[in-house]
Chain A
Amino acid sequence: MTPTNLTPLFPNTLLARAERLRLMPHRRRTNRTQGEHHHGKGGTSTEFSDYRDYVAGDDVRFIDWNIFSRLNEPYLKLYQHEEEMRVVCIVDASDSMNFEGKFDLAKQLAAVFSTIALASREKASAYVCGPEGQPPIAMQPCTGRASRSRVLKFYENLEVGGTMPMERAIDEALRRHTGKGIAVLLSDFLTFGSVEASLNRLHASGLEPFAIQVLSPSEIDPDVEEDVRFIDAELQHSLDVSAMKDLMALYHEQRWNLEQRLAAACRQRGGRFVSVSSDEPVERVVVERLIREGWLR
C-alpha cells in the first residue's frame, strides 16, 4: 500500500529528509532573536564550542569548575550561539516560467527550502512575483514545524502568469521583507534588465543570495533546425531567426555567459548559484546538487 504523501509537491521521503537538513550560509547573517541556527561561539546553546580565559565581569556560571580544580585557573566554557535566521524564497512566477515544468520545480525547491527553515526553527517567508504592477503574493514569516502545512499549502496553490522581471521581483520582495538571512531566488533569470543591482540591494539588506536558475530542456539545448519566428511568451515580441544550425554555438555561448555572469554576481555577494534543468527530479536536485555543493548539510 502506497503511503499518502503529505503534499503533492514532493514525496514524504524528501519531506522527511528536508526536515533533517540544515542550511549552510557562507556568513553569519542572523537576527538577535534566538533560534536554532548555530551561529558562532559565545552562544547559549548546549553545544560546546571552545574555552577562553576568564575576565572580570564574565558570568561565573560558565566557568568550568573541573578545570579550575585541576589548574587553579578559571576558564570560561563557550557554547554555540544559536540565532534565528530569515529564509525568504523569491519565486519568479512570470510567463517565462510556465514552460516544461520550470515553475513546478521552482515551487518544489522553494517548499524544500521553507521546510528546512521551519525544521531549523528559522523564520521562513516567500514572495511569488507574477503580474506586473501587482504586489507579490507573500507568505508571511512563520517558524516552527507547526507552520509546515500552511507553508506547503501556500506553494501548492501558487499560479504562474505575469510579466514581472526577476530584478523587479527582488525589489518588490525587499520592499516588504525584514531581517537577515538567506534569500532563495528561483527563476530562469532570462530578463532584459540587470539582476546585479537587485543582488546588491539584497546583499545590503543582509540576505545571502541562493540563486537557482531553472531552465527547461529546450532552453538548454534548443532543437530547432529551420528558419523560425520566435515569440516571447511574456512580451509577445517576435524575432526571426535563420540559419539556426550556425547560431547554435552562439546560443550556447550566450547561455554559458549568462550563467557565468550570474554565478559571479552571487559569489561576489557571498552567495551561491546553480543552474538546473526543469526535467530533473527535485530529489536529485536536492541530493546531487545542493547537498553536494554545500548548500545544505
Chain B
Amino acid sequence: MNFTAPWAGLLALAAIPIVVVYFLKLRRPRRTVPSLVLWQKVLEDQRVNSPFQRFRRNLLLWLQLALLACVVLACMQPFVSGGGGSDALPIIVDVSASMAARQSDGGPTRLDRVKEELLELVDDLPGGKRVAIVAAGARATQMSDFTADRNVLRQAVDRLAVEPVETDLTPALRLADGMTQSATISELRLYSDGNLPTDPNSPDGIAVIPFDLPFAVDFRQVEDEEPIANLGIIEASATRSGESKWEVFIRVSASGGPGRADVVIMQDGEELRRDPLVLEAGVTQRLAFTLGSSSASTIVLKLEPKQFDALDLDNRVRLDLPAARPLAVQVADSLPAFRFAADGLVNRRFVDTAADLLITDAEGTAPVNLVIGTVPEGLAEFIEMTAGHNDVVDWQRSDPLLRHVQLSDVQFVEHPSYKDSASRQDIEEAGYRVVAETANGPLIVRREQGRQVDYVFLFDPDRSTLPFRIGFPVMIANAADIATSRAELSDVRGVTAGVLPPLGVDRAGEYEVVRPSGKTQTVRADGRRLLRGVVVDELGDYVIRRDGTDVRQFGASLLSTIESQLAGVDEVRFSDVTVEANDNAAPSSDQSLWRLLAAIGLAVLVFEWWYAHRPALPSSSGGRRQNTGQPLQGSPSSLSRS
C-alpha cells in the first residue's frame, strides 16, 4: 500500500488535543452518597470480572482516535498498486462496430461499459500516473496524450465513439510504439471485445496481429454475461442480368442465438417486398432477389428484427444501381490489332474521351488501362529491350486479365530484359506486379493506383505472335470485364466504411460530401476527374454535391462478418507472444482506499454518536443477581419494596 500524500500523516498530531480535551471534558458530576462501602466492593468485583473495563471506560476516546485515524489515513490517500510498473500507461480502446452491441434493449453498449471502467480508472488515478487513450477502429486516433489531468482524460473518454468498421489494432499499436519515444512504457492496456481478425488455420480461433510488441499487453476483454443474439447482413451485392434486370444477393448471419426478422427490400424509397427470415444460431443464409431496373436506382435492404437484436449497425445495406449503358472503350489508332479485338466485344461503344477501358500506347487515364509497348518511366532504369527470340515462362493465371489465356506458345521477336543487376524485386518496389514474364524479364506488369488499374505490356505485340493467338481476344474480353466491373456496370457491391477509392466525376474542382449526420466534407477532384479522399466514417446515406447540385449518392454499410458475429476471442497472438484476456479480479487500476476509509470513519462516527446517545436501559431490579437473573427470593430489601 502506498500513499499519495504521506505528509497528511501530520494530521495525526490532532490526537494530542483530542486526548487532552477528552480528559479535560471528563469532569464527572460529584454525587454524595452515605457510604462507599458497596461501591468499593462493586469496583473490586468489576476489576475481577471485567478486565477490559478500563478499555470500555474510555471507549468514546478510542472511538474518537479511530475516527481520527480514518480521517488521517484518508487524507494520506492510500492506494493499492494495480500493476503497471511505469508511470505512463497507454490505453487502446477498441471502437469497432461490435463495441456498439448491447446486452439488452436500452442497455449500455460494450463501449459504454468500457468508458465507465475508464472513468473509474481516471477517478482513481494516483498522483504521478500518466495515461494516454487511443481509439482503435480501422485506424488509430489518439484521444489524449500522456497526461495525469483527470479532466482531459474524462473528455477523452467521453469522445470515444463507435466507428462502423472492422477492428485493426495494428495502427493503434504502432501509435503506442511511437509513444515510447516520449515516455517509458512497460505495459499497454487493451480494451476490446475480442472481435478481431482470427487465424483461419487455428482451430480454436486465436486472433492474430502481426506486430512485435515492445511492451507487455494487458488485454481486458469486454465480455457479455451470456451470448447475445444478433442478426446482421454481412454481404450485399448486385449483378446485372440482361438489359433491365439486377440480381441482388445478401448474406445474413445469426450469432449468439436464433434470429427472427423480416427482410425488407426497398427500391427508390418504395417497399418492394417483405419476407420473414428465421435463422438458427451460427448459421448464415444467402438470399437472392431479382429486380427490374434499366435506370439508376437505389436499393435498400433492411432487417427488421422481431426479437432482441444486439447490434443495429448491420441491419441496413444500400446498393446504388447505375443506369444501364454500354461500356465506353477507347483504343489508340496505332493499335489496330487491339481495336479489331475490341470490336468484337458485346455491349460496348467506342469513344474518344471518358472511356471505361483505354487501350493506348501512352499514359493511361481511364479506370482500366492497357498500355501497350511502352516502358513506364519508373521502370526504365531496370528494363531494356532486347532483340531475339524468347518464350513466356510464367504468367499469373489467376489475374483477371489473363484468365483462360494461354501464353505458353507465344513467340517474341523483341522482348524486355532486366538491366544489369535489376531484378523482379526492383519492379515490385517500383509499385508494379509482374503478371507475365520471360526468362530474362517481365512481359506484362500491373499497377493499381486507387481506383485506376494499369496493365503495361512492356513488349510490342505487333512484334510477337500474341495477336494471332486465340487467347488475345479472350484477354481483351477480360479487360472489358475488369472495366465493366470497375465502372459498376455489371456488379455493384455495398460500400463499407473507410476511405473510398477515387470516384470518377464529370469535372475537376471542389465537391461537398454530406454525411448521414449532416456534417460536410470538402474534397477536390483532380485533373483526372477523380474525387479522392472521401472519408466514410458513418453508416447511412451520403450525398456528393457540387455548387449545390447533387452529383452522386451512395450508402455506407457495415458488411462485416467479424463485427456481426459478436463472439470474440480471448486470446491474441502477436508476432512473438500470445496474450490472454485478463479475467482475474485484479484491480483495473491503482485502487484508491480513501473511500473505504471514509466509509469506515463514517461508521465509527455513527457508532460513537449512538454509543454516546444510546437510550437508557430499563433500570435493573435491585433484587436481581448478575448472571443468574433469578430474583432474590426472601431478600429483605425486595420485601421492603413490596
Contacts and interface: CB of A to CB of B under 8 A. Distances in A.
Interface of A: 95-99, 102, 188, 190-192, 213, 215-216, 218-221, 223-235, 237-243, 245-256, 258-260, 263, 273-277, 280, 288-289
Given A191-B37, A243-B57, A245-B616, 16 more contacts: A98-B34, A188-B34, A220-B641, A221-B641, A225-B616, A227-B26, A227-B57, A231-B33, A237-B36, A239-B36, A241-B42, A254-B45, A256-B637, A259-B635, A259-B637, A274-B636
A258 B636 CA distance: 11
Contacts of B619: 221, 223, 248
B32 interface: yes
Nearest to B38: A254
Given A213-B636, A263-B636, A247 B42 contact: yes
B467 interface: no
Contacts of B43: 239, 241, 247
A58 to B, nearest CB: 48
Contact of A252 (B34, B620, B639): B620
B637 A275 contact: yes
B30 A229 contact: yes
A253 B626 contact: yes
B202 interface: no
Given A254-B45, A275-B636, A192 B624 contact: no
B528 interface: no
A228 B31 contact: yes
Interface of B: 26, 28-43, 45-46, 49-50, 53, 56-57, 616-617, 619-627, 632, 635-637, 639-642
A74 to B, nearest CB: 51
16 contacts: A225-B616, A229-B29, A232-B32, A234-B35, A241-B39, A243-B53, A243-B56, A246-B50, A250-B626, A252-B620, A252-B622, A254-B45, A255-B622, A255-B637, A258-B38, A273-B636
B31 A224 contact: yes
Contact of B28 (A225, A228, A274): A228
Contacts of B33: 218-219, 230-233
A190 B37 contact: yes
A198 B26 CA distance: 42
A246 to B, nearest CB: 7
B625 A230 contact: no
Nearest to B627: A249
A259 B635 CA distance: 8
Given A239-B40, A256-B623, A190 B640 contact: no
Contacts of B636: 213, 259, 263, 273-276
Contacts of B45: 250, 253-254
A288 B28 CA distance: 41
A255 B38 contact: yes
A273 B408 CA distance: 140
B505 to A, nearest CB: 94
Nearest to B26: A227
**Residue among B26, B38, B40, B621 with max Cβ neighbours from chain A (10 Å):** B38
Contacts of B49: 250
Contact of A96 (B26, B34, B46): B34
A255 B620 CA distance: 14
B30 to A, nearest CB: 5
Contacts of A258: 37-38
A283 to B, nearest CB: 14
A250 to B, nearest CB: 5
A242 B57 CA distance: 6
Nearest to A257: B41
Nearest to B642: A288
Given A243-B53, A252-B620, A229 B31 contact: yes
A238 B28 CA distance: 11
A215 B37 CA distance: 13
A278 to B, nearest CB: 10
A253 B625 contact: yes
A230 B641 contact: no
Nearest to B37: A190
A256 B625 contact: yes
Contacts of A216: 34
A225 B617 CA distance: 9
A220 B622 contact: yes
A228 to B, nearest CB: 5
A226 B40 contact: no
A188 B640 contact: no
A277 B623 contact: no
Contacts of B34: 95-99, 102, 188, 190, 216, 219, 233-234
Contacts of B622: 220-221, 252, 255
B39 A256 contact: no
Nearest to B31: A228
Nearest to B632: A256
Contacts of A260: 635
